[in-house]
Amino acid sequence: MRALITGGTGFLGANLADGLLKQDWTVRILRRKTSPLAAVKDLQVEHAIGDILNSDSLLAAMQGIDIVFHVAAVSSYWRNKADWIYKVNVDGARLVFDAARRSAAKRVVFTSSAAAVGPTKGRPANENDPFNSPLRHFAYGHSKWLAEQIVYERVKAGQDITIVNPSGIIGPRDINWISGSILREAARGRIPVIPQGGVNFVAVQDVVAGHIAAVEKGRAGERYILGGENLTNRQTIEMACEIVGVKPPRFTQPRRTIPIAALALDLTTAIVGPKLPLSGQQMRLTREFIWFDSSKAQRELGLPHTPVRQALQECYDWYKANGYL
């Protein structure tokens, strides 16, 4: 089988390329000329130079391709403005789906996000729960939800597209410090207090396995949450601190201080730009329990489970081996 991965030089894309190669797929990645290659430098992949916002380059990259994995997105939403997030994540998805249809690719696996599902009070959210976060606070989740609406339209028109929704991904090759930034901030002593909420984290190899299983087992027009463990922020931070060898923070951040801190971050970002390790959006989300139910993916895709503690250790080991920490 021949696969094209958009966003193939990023964290998930590079791990997906590695996973496909290990199963004897032929892998082509779509990247810009300026894309950093650190995450794929050891992988024998074909390189197609282009951009998901350029239809001609998409069509050229998809020639002879059986399966398109549309992974490319603005995922570091706290470092980017909302209009760019919507342009890449919504308009880019539409162009990828168009090119896949025109090139006669057999199936598209679209990497959405668990953020497009949104948190649910009182229980872990599942695929049937709608996006419900305030739009002014979370353009990333909304952009992914809008891209999913395009999927449903295309599936009704006969195109074969399956949606996968990873939660917070942990593992090697995270060169842009997405979820792996928790290890860097812990090592630098920059986690003074622990937020009250919680997040679902998943090992990157499990997300890769879910993508590959979606090719053969996924149903067109269905979404599958690829999650791991529902952890409190204290559990996650204490694991990260243990791995890097520092003492975890003792104190939990009072909920009443979060809106004030978020506003301060908003004002600072407006002055200095998206350079901070934390945004107002992220600060507001820290008080929520953003937990998910992955039973559908376990049942239909055979989604495996790797302990988050192991995923954090593998991420840390990769950073150390490659000179990042």
Q: Is residue 21 part of a domain?
A: yes
Distance CA 148, CA 162 (A): 10
Residue 143 sits in a domain of what CATH number? Answer: 3.40.50.720
Question: pLDDT by residue (tens digit) across 47-57?
Answer: 999 999 999 99
Average pLDDT along the chain = 91
| Mean pLDDT computed over 159-183 | 96
User: Under a CB-based contact definition with an 8 Å cutoff, are residues 116 and 141 in contact?
Assistant: yes
Q: How far apart are CA 106 and CA 100, in angstroms?
A: 8
Residue 37 lies in a domain: yes
Q: Which are the contacts of 78, defined by CB distance < 8 A and separation ≥ 6? A: 274, 276, 278, 279, 281, 282
The two structure tokens encoding residue 239: 């694991």
- Res. 13: pLDDT tops 60: yes
Name residue, tokens 């995923």.
311
User: What is the percentage of the chain residues whose pLDDT exceeds 90?
Assistant: 76
Band of residue 89 on the pLDDT scale cut at 50, 70, 90: very high
Cα–Cα distance, 92 to 185 (Å, whole number): 32
Please report how many Cα atoms fall inside a 13 Å half-sphere around the Cα of residue 210, on the Cβ side: 34
The total of structural domains in the chain comes to 1
**Is 135 a residue whose pLDDT tops 80?**
no
Structural domain includes residue 42? yes
Q: What share of the chain is helix, strand, coil (3-state, %, to 5)?
A: 45, 15, 40
* Beta-carbon count within 10 A of 78 CB: 16
- Torsion over CA: 133, 137, 141, 146 (sign): positive
Write phi, then psi, for 159 (nearest 5 degrees): -85, 145
Query: Residue 91: how many CA atoms within 13 Å on its side-chain side?
Result: 10
**Quick check: is 258 in a domain?**
no
- Give bridge partners of residue 25 from the DSSP assignment: none
Tokens of 321: 């081996």
User: Looking at residue 225, what is its pLDDT?
Assistant: 98
3-state SS class at 154? helix
| Beta carbons within 8 Å of 287's beta carbon, 6+ residues apart | 195, 196, 197, 255, 258
State which residues form the domain around 158: 2-172+201-228+290-306
Report the pLDDT averaged over residues 240-249.
96
Task: Please give the share of the chain, as a percent, with pLDDT higher than 70.
Answer: 87
The helix/strand/coil state of 25 is coil
Domain presence at residue 17: yes
Residue 173 DSSP label: T
Q: What confidence tens digit (pLDDT) does each residue in 256-295 have?
A: 666 666 666 556 666 655 555 556 666 666 667 899 999 9
Which of 170, 169, 173, 188 is closest to 318 using CA atoms? 173
Instruction: Establish if 321 belongs to a structural domain.
Output: no
178 located within any domain: no
* Residue 80: how many other CB atoms lie within 10 Å: 16
CA separation for the pair 325, 307 (Å, rounded): 22
Residue 120 lies in a domain: yes
* DSSP annotation of 201: E
pTM of the model as a whole:
0.92
CA dist 261 and 37 (Å) reads 36
What gap in Å lies between CA 211 and CA 149, rounded to an integer? 20
Exposed e or buried b per residue across 217-236, where buried means at least 16 C-beta atoms within 10 angstroms of its C-beta: ebebbbbbbbbbbbbbbbbb
